[in-house]
Structures are given as C-alpha cells and as structure tokens.
Structure 1
Amino acid sequence: MAGDVPGTPPGCERVAYVLVHREDAAFSDTYGGGGNVIGLDCHLVRPIDTPTERVLVFMHPTGGGMYLPIVPGLAAAGHHVIWANSRYRGTDSALIMEKVVADLGQVVKDATERLGYEQVVLAGWSGGGSLSAYYQSLANSGAGISDTPAGDPYVVAPENLPPADAVMMLAAHISRHETLTEWMDASITDESRPFDRDRALNLYDPANPNQPPYTLEFVAEYRAAQHARNRRITAWVHAELAALEAAGEPHAERAFVVHGTMADPRWLDPAIDPSDRRPGWCFLGDPKVVNDGPVGLARFCTLRSWLSQWSLDHARGDAQKSLPTVTQPVLVVGNTADDACTPSHTMRLFEAVTHDHKRLHQVQGATHYYSGKDGRKHLAEAIGVIGDFLSAQLD
C-alpha cells in the first residue's frame, strides 16, 4: 500500500502484517484466539526508495497508534517504522504487562530475523515509554521472565527478549501505576460506595473548602490519600486471590470497576507541575467528566491485571527503576503543554538514566498528540530531534 493511502505519506508504503506466536496458558485473557495462539497486528511504514539497516519499533500496552502523526511523520523523514499492537489492543481490562513484554520481544526478533534489520530502536510513546524501558531492562539482564506479580508462572526465555540498540522516551510517563495513582480520586474512601465521597478531598465539589490554588499541605494530604487508596485496592485484590486459592480455584478471576480515576490536582491548579498545558483540561477532555467516564485508566480490571498494571507496590513496568539498567543510548522528548504526561515525568525519566549517552529535548508549546494550530511545527521539531539523536548515537 503506497502513499495514496490515508495516513501513509507520499513516497512511502504501509505494510500491514500479522505476527503470530504461541505460548502455553492456563486460561485466555484476550477475546478469541484459543488462548495459546497470539496474533499481533503490525504496520511497517517506510519510504519506498530509502533502504536502511535500522527500524524504529513502537508498542503501547493497549496499542492503536499506527496512525498517530509521529508514525507517518518519521517515515516521511526517511525512517523505517513499525507500530506493533500487543495482544491487548483496545482494552487493558485483563492486561498483564509481562505478556506485553513478551509480545514486544517477538516483534524485535521478527524485525531482525525475518525483516533483516540490523539495528532496532525502541520508540516508547506515552504509555509505551515505561514499557520500552522495562523491556530493555529485562533484555539487558539476560534473566528473562519467570512469573507475574500475582505469582502465576509465566516463562519467557532470555533469547526471546533481545536487547534493542537504543531507547527513545517520547511524550512518555514514568509508569502506568504511578500515573494512575497521581490521577486517582482521593475522595473515594470505600470502593463499595464510590459515590459517597469525602467532601474535603473531592476536587469537583464546589463546597470543598480546599479550592485552587491549593496549599502545599492540601496537596500532600491528597497525595497520601491517593497512595492509601491504591494500596487498599491492592490489599483487597490479594485477599480475593487468596480466597480463590483456598477454594481450590487457583485460575479463577474476578472483574471489578475502579471509579474516580481522573482527579489530579494539577489539572485544576496550573501551579502544580507548572507547564504550558491548558488549565481545567486533560488529554481526554474535561477531567471532571473523565473522572467517572467509561474510558478512564483502570476503569475495568481483573485481579491479576491490577497487580501487573496498577499496583504501586507490585507492578514492575516502572521506567524510573528500569532506566538505570539501560546502558544503550536514551533520548527523552517531552512536550511542555502535554495534558497527559507532564514535564515532571519527562525530567524524572531523563534523570533516571545514569550514563552520558542521553539527550533531553522539550518541545515548547506541544501537546500530547501534537494537536492545535502549531501541531505540525511541533511534530517536525520532535522528528528532527529524533533524527539527530539517531545519527549521533548509532551512525
């Protein structure tokens, strides 16, 4: 499919393919496929007449970004790009991060063994950033994967996690579990009564005596309550898993709903984590509406997924903990008007890299999706920085 296809730049082609791998599984946590057969839908977008030994590999835990502006934008600039969807494309309700890592490993292997690329660069956009850092850390360790945070055996051999040659963190956050916790509605103190909310912690209650600009004391109290809420849910999850085990049902699952997951004080008070972002707004729209809407983070969960994705104390996909073990070159690109992954996350990512083969760049005024009247200019700037980084570090 050439450049007349929407989302494919002139002079480029978009090759859609399915990458299939198999694994033993006690039960299926994705719809269809039989449980043991995993199909990953992938798009290779590349300039038709510009061969290269290098490919940039994107994967987001829940996928769906093959038409994001940065993918065709990079191809138009001469790069070969793979956007690979994990097995959980479109839904994270039962997502196990260790299985996403296994999927990414299959894509990296296929890029070198079948497609013939000699260099692979992980391009971690948004939630793909912490995934890429976690993957590279595991790949560098040579230990593979043996289990999930729920204690379920899940074996991925080291040879199925080949290390990439560089890692790029693009408009990325530090982890799904830390991001969720920063966004959790601290006014929910009883998960069985999610709409009976503590007025003094309810950011969206006009009768709350704490209004923006918030005091440092209130923010500290609020953050502590968010952490406590995350850990209460984790304690309940452990209790449920233990009860299922005791009942002789070790493979049984339970689904549940987490209400109130877009109530970060920084959305209402621009003095918290100051940036160029729009006050009273988040990347999904009005945060008050998103807080209880159907597309919030962690809205629909399973017990095992909570531990692997969202638990502060058990989820392993943590870029701040992973990046210190990444010895390959690292690029961190942030956007100063990002209404999802704010500048403090960008800086925490950069500071977590312990070697000198790293670069930081902030695109001034850019939003999470490079939208708005200057979006094309912001995107072009980011793509230029990526090209310069790759040339300096890998050519």
Structure 2
Amino acid sequence: MSKHYDRTPYLVTFTEPSSFKDTYAGPMGLVALEAHLLTPSAGPGKTVVIFMHPVGGGAYLPMVSALAKAGLSVIYCNSRYRGADSALLMEKVVADLGACVRDAKERLGFEKVVLAGWSGGGSLSLLYQAEAEDPQITETPAGDPYDLTAQKLIPADGIMLLAAHVSRAITMTEWLDPSVLDENNPDQRDRQLDIYHPNCPNQPPYSDDFVARFRQAQIDRNRRITDWVKGKLADFRAKGLPNEEYGFIVHRTMCDVRWLDPQQDPNQRPPGTCYLGDPQTVNNGPVALARFNTLRGWLSQWSYDDSRANGPACAGRIRIPAFVIGNTADNACTPSHTRRLLDGFQSGQATLREVAGANHYYFGQNDKLAEAVAHCTTWLQEQGLLA
C-alpha cells in the first residue's frame, strides 16, 4: 500500500439563474464549489471516488485520505452550503454533486465514478443517483421551480455508503425532543416525555409502549413545525412576496432514547453519549441538527414528510452496485440505519460489511480504519471498478 498522495485544491464553478441568494456573498447566479483532488503516487487511474456531504467540511476525514493512501483517486467536493445549512436545499446540493461528477469525467478525464456517501452524504448520494437514473424532481418541496430533470445528471458506476444514516429528515426526527409543547417557549414540556429531566417518570430501560409513544411524539412535533412553515410561506405568497424568507430556531434536537438506553438499537457505543458529546448538552447547543433554519430549508432537509432525500426510498430507484459499511460502535448512525439502507436496495444488489468496535469517524482507531479501507478496495475490485 502506498502511503503517499498529492492533494490539489480546486474549484468547480457553474452558472445557475436565481431570483434570490441563499448563500453568502459572491455574484448572483454563480455557484463555486471548493474541492480537493487526492491523487495517489502511482497515478490517477481511471476511477475516482467522490465524496460530498450536504454541509461539507470533510476533506480531511480519516477515510478520505486513507483511501488515497490505498492507491485510489479521491475527490472531496464541498456543496455550495459548506459550513452553513440553515437555507440548504437538498435539490441544489444534488446539482452541486452533479457538477462535480461532470467535471471529474469531462475535465479530469476519469472514466468511472464511485459515489462515497459518508454519514449525511449517504442519503445525498442515493438521491443523486436516483435522479440520475430516474429523474423526477422539477421543483423544491416549497414549490419553487428547480428542475433536476433538465440537469442531465451523469449516473455513477457504483455507490458506497460509509457509516451513513438514512436521511437528514428521518435522523433529525429520531433525535427531536418530543417533550417540547410550545416552539416559542421550549421550557414548556411534557414531563412524561422529558427523558433528560431527573424526575421523568419513564426511566431506562424503556418499555416498548413508551418508546412507541416517544417516537410518535417526535413525528408529531416535526409535522407541527412543517405545518407552521407551510402556513408562513402561504401567507407570504398571498401578500405578493413569493421570495420572502423567515429564519427560525428549533430548540432541543438531540434527544433520543438510544443515547440513554443501550438496549435501544444496541451496538458497542458508550452509553450516555452521542457523536457530538453529552447528548443533554447538545440538545440545547448550537451544533445539533436543524438548530437554525429557514422555511424552504426546513422543508427540503428536515420535514419528515416532504424531504426527498430519503435514503432507503432512493435506494429502491437505483440499479448500480452498492456497498454498505456499518461501524458497530457508531454513536451517530446506529445499526438500524445500516439495516434500513441495506433493505432499500433490491435483493442481492448491495454488499454489507461491518467493522467491529469502530466509532463514527475512526478517530483513534487506525486499525479499524485500515479494515474499512480494505473492505472498500476489495469490493471495488470485485465489481470491476478499479480500472
């Protein structure tokens, strides 16, 4: 295995008509994506593995550089929303990924592309491939025109889902604090569902009945927010303000029975933790999913019923070879996510491998990282994708 590679930062740019800006600064109608090309010392080869995450920032993730050290050409491309997802539209991120794939093929000259969906990049990659094989989307969930069918997205040749979750909307809903009764006053809560409160009458290990009630209350809260969002947009449009936006906060979004009860979706994760640290702290902190929002961003990313980036549903629309890695100590994407993704594919289409004891990022686990990379390269060779 070569340990050396070259890292080349570059930009992917394209024009896109827009009636308003949803990213900071820059000229109207120009999209610029920051990308990194990692080329192994043996040369670029004919196949490239492409990573993109909706909100980006993963160019130095352990898996990205480890694949390059293993002799693979790798691109990590940030979406236009890199680092700021309050106004993020999944449909536009699909277009961003499409621009990166096209650039890799037409300018860089790679013959084969394999999508690598890491964490939240999994459902993005699946939505991209579904729209490339079976284009359907012509508008955003808010009803604004955005025609992915006209993009002529280039289908990938294979897809790898690496420590991936099923979707932003479903994952956030499963982490949404169901005890909140008033979005404008998050301290008004249902004590029966307030699992972080020391006097909550329901304590781990949780009963099946309580978990069912908890899960339904999470979905109900998501739908209440969505109803409010749609009403707000309708009011703006009725006033002749079709491009008007509104920023808002969703409080308490890291609350899951899985964090406190290791019998829920069990694996080897440390009890009482999540991938961002202490879940009770994260529940109110600034880095939890969906904390800062816009109306259109909510519908596209976080609405349980409206977001199109549903990983298992998109998997059912694609036909390329698929590879799924689950980390058995993952404290973000727990085993049910891996199973749901795998089950979304046609029978026999996807290969599953698990890395025992691996955490979400392989931080401090070079041996687990090497095992995951070996699984990837073996699968790529078996599929004839290491041209």
Partner of 1:127: 120
Following TM superposition, by how much is the alpha carbon of 1:358 offset from its aligned partner in structure 2, in angstroms? 1.9
Residue 63 of structure 2 aligns with an amino acid whose one-letter code is I
Q: TM-score, normalised by structure 1?
A: 0.95
Contact 1:253-1:303 at 8 Å conserved across structures? yes
1:138 aligns with 2:131: yes
Q: State how far apart, in whole Å, the 2-side matches of 1:300 and 1:34 are.
A: 24
Partner of 2:84: 91
Aligned ranges for residues 131-170 of structure 1 at < 5 Å? 131-143=124-136, 145-170=137-162
Residue 198 of structure 1 aligns with an amino acid whose one-letter code is D
1:16-44 deviations in Å (ceiling 9; x for gaps) = 00111110001000001123111000000
SS in 1 for 2:147: strand
Contact 1:29-1:35 at 8 Å conserved across structures? no
Aligned ranges for residues 102-121 of structure 1 at < 5 Å? 102-121=95-114
Residue 128 of structure 1 aligns with an amino acid whose one-letter code is G
| Aligned match for 1:78, one of 63, 71, 81 | 71
Q: State how far apart, in whole Å, the 2-side matches of 1:66 and 1:345 are.
A: 24
Contact 1:139-1:158 at 8 Å conserved across structures? no
Following TM superposition, by how much is the alpha carbon of 1:155 offset from its aligned partner in structure 2, in angstroms? 2.1
Residue 225 of structure 1 aligns with an amino acid whose one-letter code is A
Following TM superposition, by how much is the alpha carbon of 1:354 offset from its aligned partner in structure 2, in angstroms? 0.4
1:20 aligns with 2:13: yes
Contact 2:52-2:78 at 8 Å conserved across structures? yes
Q: State how far apart, in whole Å, the 2-side matches of 1:242 and 1:218 are.
A: 36
Residue 118 of structure 2 aligns with an amino acid whose one-letter code is W
| Aligned match for 1:392, one of 362, 382, 386 | 382
Contact 1:109-1:160 at 8 Å conserved across structures? no
Q: TM-score, normalised by structure 2?
A: 0.97
Q: Which range moves more in the overlay, 275-284 or 32-41?
A: 32-41
Following TM superposition, by how much is the alpha carbon of 1:355 offset from its aligned partner in structure 2, in angstroms? 4.1
Partner of 1:353: 345
| Aligned match for 1:211, one of 203, 207, 210 | 203
| Aligned match for 2:49, one of 37, 53, 56 | 56
Partner of 2:215: 223
| Aligned match for 2:366, one of 351, 354, 376 | 376
Q: State how far apart, in whole Å, the 1-side matches of 2:355 and 2:384 are.
A: 23
Following TM superposition, by how much is the alpha carbon of 1:325 offset from its aligned partner in structure 2, in angstroms? 1.3
Q: State how far apart, in whole Å, the 2-side matches of 1:58 and 1:346 are.
A: 18
Change (3 A) 1:350 1:112: same
1:131-162 deviations in Å (ceiling 9; x for gaps) = 0001000100144x311000000123445411
Aligned ranges for residues 193-272 of structure 1 at < 5 Å? 193-272=185-264
SS in 1 for 2:31: strand
Residue 181 of structure 2 aligns with an amino acid whose one-letter code is T
Q: State how far apart, in whole Å, the 2-side matches of 1:172 and 1:71 are.
A: 15
Q: State how far apart, in whole Å, the 2-side matches of 1:265 and 1:10 are.
A: 42
Following TM superposition, by how much is the alpha carbon of 1:10 offset from its aligned partner in structure 2, in angstroms? 4.7
Q: State how far apart, in whole Å, the 2-side matches of 1:142 and 1:214 are.
A: 43
Q: State how far apart, in whole Å, the 2-side matches of 1:10 and 1:389 are.
A: 20
Q: CA RMSD in A?
A: 1.1
Contact 1:122-1:167 at 8 Å conserved across structures? yes
SS in 1 for 2:383: helix
How many residues in Structure 1 have an aligned counterpart in Structure 2?
A: 384
| Aligned match for 1:300, one of 275, 278, 292 | 292
Contact 2:41-2:71 at 8 Å conserved across structures? no
